[in-house]
A and B are shown apart, each in its own frame.
Chain A
Amino acid sequence: MTDVSTERMPTIAERLADGEPAASAADPVTFVIFGGAGDLAHRKLLPALYNLQLDALLPPRVAIIGAGRGEMTDEQYRAFAKDGIEHFSRRPLDPHAWETFAESLFYAGVSIGDANALTTLGARLDVIEHERGLPGNRVYYLAIPPTLFVPTVRDLNQARFINRAADSPFGRVIVEKPIGRDLQSARQINDALAAVFDERQIYRIDHYLGKETVQNILVLRFANSIFEPLFNARHVDHVQITVAEEEGVGTRAGYYDQAGALRDMVQNHILQLASLVAMEPPRSLEADVIRDQKLEVLRSLRPITGDAVATCVVRAQYAPGFIGGVPAAGYVSEKGVAPNTRTETFVALKMFIDDWRWAGVPFFLRTGKRLPKRASEISVHLKRVPQILFNADPRSPLDPCILSIRIQPDEGFAFSINSKVPGTRARVYPVQMDFHYGSTFGGSTPEAYERLLLDVMIGDTTLFMRRDAVEAAWQWVMPILDYWSTATAMPLPTYDAGEWGPPEADRLIESSGRSWRQL
């Protein structure tokens, strides 16, 4: 017999909250941005928080504290935030909404490595939280160089900022990529974080995962009966993932020249995309269930080791050329780049996922800077139909059906199929069923950071990278980096700025009778 006396009745608040939008779950919070006066905060974080305010998605009580090295008054910080919003917000500044938002903005000067500075910050936070009736829930955003992650986390711990593993009040930390520059340094950072935070308090952000189209990959696969049965070695010929950037290194040369395209893009963004495309259906939408399935993909990647690196991976560096008709300098001429650098600005590679679903299906990945245009896309190329009927003429084979998922720009997806050209002859022409987010759903799509920051406040880790996934990705990438570090005598191919990479990249895919998709 069930003992009904032990069943807890829902509270009034729980009964009212039942069925209401998820944003109601965000508890009052103090949001501390280390690097609060930096570029990321100015261009992305503060505009994202402001847009959450516009959508009434910020918690009912909130304080946002920018913490930085310089000195600034709260009023100056509000002016800094206002400037960022005016220039970078997807929606214009609304005076009323700004008024409410500005009331929650504060600034505190902090220098990492100075224990007294954090004590002063702690006192300031206590006062703000007391005045605003905040319960001490805190999110710490480390919008700072990776070299400062470990000392900052250590200082936070020493200054007793962290309530480890406590749910109420909660303490969470957001870490920006890159998590390390190799497996060893990634483990060091993760160890430092783990010494202070429980894993479920750590949010390793990859803004790619906050993009609508990336989130739509799972919907496309698991909410439509047409695609999922095709996503396997029986029907898919190969998969391409391209993340192309038009811009050069810009002001990031100092970082980029130490990193290169493999570390900057492949190890995180592209492998995350691949894992979403290739993962098995999760049994639920719980964060760790999804992250477990993604991890399985990363662990199933066939290692590329030794001489296989030379045949399966192409790296290159951009040379002078033209972008949109305008002359563009070569990489070695960029400000802040070492003159004898061998850092790759382009990578193309062929990889395999050694699991039942994808056995034998090549995944071709490419990414680079100074490519003809900014375009990120995943394309799933289905196998061609047999060479009979409409495909009987070997001189003009039919195009394969391709599902292409555009991540940026012009987010959406398209499915190309063959169709009869009207007329008396049996002519076949490839046509596209094309879905554009912009023209279908209208309005302005939330920025990735909006979704991700809200998820941190709610406590949803689904779109964030778990430690084991970060380290699995590094583990797969390391043999390539190790090979490159020893193959210093090998010439480094170049490509003209404005080209789709070096000829070696074309040969990589064309040797198997395939070709890169024109973007």
Chain B
Amino acid sequence: MSDRFWRPSTLDAIEHDLAALWREVTKEGPVARAIMSNLVVVRTPRSQWPERRVGVSIDAVAAQHPSRVVIIDHESIATGAPGPTGARVGVALFGPPQARYAVEQIAVHSAGLDESLPSLVRRLVRGGLPISTWWAEDCSEAPLIASILEMGRQLVYDSRRWTNIERGVEVIHAWRHLDLADVNWRRLVAMRRALVVAAAGEPMDWSPDTIRIAHDADYRAQAWLLAGWLASRLDWPPHVAPRIEAAADPNTVLSVTIGNGERTVRVNCDGRRVVVMHPGRPPSTIGIPIEGEADAVSAELHSLSHDVRLHDALSALHRIFSAS
């Protein structure tokens, strides 16, 4: 989808080499230099990120959210480390020939103390533009590099990758002063909307002991996020959670059941749409937006705002897990 030009560089010559590369790229025709923000991507040797591990390419995201992409390949070494060991600059071109635009990318190899990274990033980011950190690794098992996150305004992550939900919530909750953007929370929009539809029907008991959430393996974090959302919106007592269990129906990826017996309302998601089933009424269907991973990440990058509902849901989950 893009033409990409890379050239080796050194830390001191990055801006110079980048300018030269831009001049080269624009020789063949007009190219708009597009930049909305700084997007910092930290890769560790373990991650093999992003294409192979996550299935999201940086180019695909940059095409939709043009940024100065700063890729830090960082190897954390406690002592005696040399710091940056190499750099490359690149320009990726997008769009049809008559409307070409391009984004710039800088990749730096670093080995050293985590604390050394801010000085590196500070030097590479474009001033006056917001800094977003995209953390595509499982932060429930790999520690976040605090010194990098502290520089940014926004932290984009995907809780679907969490192998340990409790630990993931604990880690992310510590960063709630940032604009948190969970791609998995975004995937829950249709489900949340369906629950609004479910609640708009006949009155039901929405206390936690009447609600069951079932999920398949990939939707475990979503199930917990839903529980946190309900707890925060409905002011459930702290430390109380609904029953969360593995889904028995193979066609169900996530479902919420409210009530018992004949008056049960069921909200069922098969991954493509969410259906709300009230007893004695025709079902309501809410489509799930067709959106690729890169679309979702770039859409989150587009919205620099404090998502109060997500923050509230995380806080509620944090209280639940702290109590247990």
- Point out residues on A near B: beta carbons under 8 Å: 11-13, 15-21, 23-24, 28, 53-56, 58, 60-61, 91, 94, 96-97, 100, 131-133, 410, 434, 436, 438-443
Contact = CB atoms under 8 A, between A and B. Distances in A.
B64 A443 contact: yes
B286 A436 contact: no
Contacts of A56: 189-190, 193, 286-289
Given A11-B199, A15-B234, A436 B309 contact: no
Given A12-B234, A13-B200, A20 B287 contact: no
Contacts of B204: 12
B146 interface: no
18 contacts: A11-B199, A11-B200, A12-B206, A13-B200, A16-B192, A16-B196, A16-B234, A19-B309, A24-B193, A53-B287, A54-B287, A61-B284, A100-B285, A133-B283, A436-B99, A439-B34, A441-B36, A441-B302
Contacts of B200: 11, 13
Interface in B58-74: 63-66
Nearest to A62: B285
Contacts of A439: 32, 34, 66, 94-95, 99, 101
B284 A60 contact: yes
Nearest to B282: A133
Most chain B beta-carbon neighbours within 10 Å: one of A12, A97, A133, A434:
A12
Nearest to A436: B32
A154 B206 CA distance: 47
B199 A438 contact: no
A436 B66 CA distance: 11
B285 A61 contact: yes
A131 B281 CA distance: 9
Q: Size class of B's contact patch? A: 35 or more
Interface string B60-94: 00011110000000000000000000000000001
A316 to B, nearest CB: 30
Nearest to B201: A13
Contacts of B289: 54-56
Interface in B257-285: 272-273, 276, 281-285
A440 B189 contact: no
A140 B72 CA distance: 56
Contacts of B190: 56
B298 interface: yes
A16 B295 contact: no
B177 interface: no
A100 B273 contact: yes
A60 B295 contact: no
B314 interface: no
Most chain B beta-carbon neighbours within 10 Å: one of A16, A61, A436, A442:
A442
Contact of B66 (A55, A60, A100, A440): A440
B116 to A, nearest CB: 33
B309 A20 contact: yes
A97 B193 contact: no
A442 B281 contact: no
A299 B257 CA distance: 57
Interface string B288-321: 1110000100100010000011000000000000
Contact of B193 (A11, A23, A96): A23
B233 interface: yes
B282 A442 contact: no
A18 B196 CA distance: 10
B131 interface: no
Given A18-B233, A434-B32, A60 B99 contact: no
B221 to A, nearest CB: 19
Contact of A441 (B64, B197, B203, B276): B64
Contacts of B227: none
B179 to A, nearest CB: 15
B172 interface: no
A436 B34 CA distance: 8
A11 B32 CA distance: 50
A54 B292 CA distance: 12
Nearest to A58: B287
Contacts of B290: 54, 91, 94, 96-97
A410 B99 CA distance: 8
Most chain A beta-carbon neighbours within 10 Å: one of B194, B284, B302:
B284
A60 B286 contact: yes
A443 B196 CA distance: 29
B193 A438 contact: no
B111 interface: no
The 3 A-B pairs at the shortest CB distance, nearest first, are namely A133-B282, A442-B64, A439-B101
B282 to A, nearest CB: 3
Most chain A beta-carbon neighbours within 10 Å: one of B99, B101, B287:
B287
Contact of A443 (B101, B288, B298): B298
A58 B286 CA distance: 8
Contacts of B148: none
Interface in B164-212: 189-190, 192-197, 199-200, 203-204, 206
A114 B234 CA distance: 53
Given A13-B199, A53-B287, A438 B282 contact: no
Contacts of B234: 12, 15-16
